[in-house]
Amino acid sequence: MKKRWICLFVENETGVLARISGIFSGKSYNLDSLTVGITEDKTISRMTISLTSDDKTFEQIKKQLGRSVEVIKVVDFADIAVHMKELMFVRVNHCSDREVDEIFKISKTFHASVIDYSPATVLIESIQTENRNNALIFLLEKCYANRIEIVRGGSVAIEALSIPKGTL
């Protein structure tokens, strides 16, 4: 089992998201995250999907997506360099003054930013790779157990210009 990313260009039509997510649920494929948004061509939407699967299932997933009429193109990010980022918000509740200070430090270290706070609550915005966001959560959960709320947006990705392979 391996983590993988693919990008889909799909028709920007009603029901396409249901069609794509239906392929995953109907065939018992494991979907970790899915983001979708309109592209510069208003008739096309672009999806970034992250999933976990073995090699054989992954081949089948790409084929199943590719044979959908609504899918214009499937791009496997395993073979190409991409820029990939995920937007995440984390709210930490019931903080003491000392903890608030500490959260500011943590944010700085993790290249995240505190974008809002009230006396006892801090709101962090982190635009990082999924792994970096995981690391931030790991730390925050350890320090502020049961006091954090997380909203994750799922990864978006685009092909890189400068390097041939790997994630930037």
Partner 1 sequence: MLITGAELFVKALKAEQIDTLFAYPGGQAIDLFHVLYGENDIDVILPRHEQGLIHAADGYARSTGKVGVCLVTSGPGATNLVTGIATANYDSVPLVCFTGQVPTGLIGNDAFQEVDIVGITRSICKYAVTVRKREDLAVIIKKAFTIARTGKPGVVVVDLPKDIQKEYGSDEYPEKIEIRGYKPNLSVHAGQIKKALETLNSAKKPLFLIGGGVSISHAHSEMQKLAEITGVPVITTIMGKGVIPTIHDLYIGNIGIHGSYAANMAVSNCDVLFSIGTRFNDRITGKIGHFATHAAIIHIDIDPASISRNIEVDIPIVADAKTAISALLEKAQKLDIGEWSEQIEQWKSQYPLFMKTKGLTPEKIIREINHTFDHAMIATDVGQNQLWATQFLELSDKKQLLTSGGLGTMGYGFPAAIGAKIGNPSKDVIVISGDGGMQMNIQEMATAVCYELPIIVCIFNNGYLGNVRQWQEMFFDKHYSSTCMRYRKSCPNICNSPTERCPEYTPDFTKLAESYGAKGIRVTKENEIAAAFETAKNTLKVPTVIEFMIEPEENVMPIVPPGNALDDMILV
Q: Degrees (nearest 5) of the Cα angle 166, 33, 59?
A: 65
Please, which residue, 57 or 121, has the CB nearer to partner 1? 57
Map residues 10-29 to x or -, x wherever contact with partner 1 holds by CB under 8 A: xx-xxx--xx--xx--x---
57-86: contacts with partner 1 (CB under 8 A)? 59-60, 63-64, 66-72
Closer residue to partner 1 in complex, CB, 8/90: 8
Of 10 and 103, nearer to partner 1 (C-beta) is: 10
30 versus 93: smaller Cβ distance to partner 1: 30
- Decide: 44 and 10 in contact? Cβ < 8 Å: yes
CA atoms within 13 A on the CB side of 119: 0
- Cα 111 from Cα 121, distance rounded (Å): 19
**How many of the other CB atoms lie within 10 Å of CB of 18?**
10
- Three-class DSSP category at 21: helix
Subset of 37-56 contacting partner 1 (CB under 8 A): 56
CA angle, 72 then 128 then 59, to 5°: 35
Choices 9-17, 77-85, 130-138, 150-158; region in contact with partner 1 by CB under 8 A: 9-17
Residues near partner 1, by CB under 8 A = 10-11, 13-15, 18-19, 22-23, 26, 56, 59-60, 63-64, 66-72
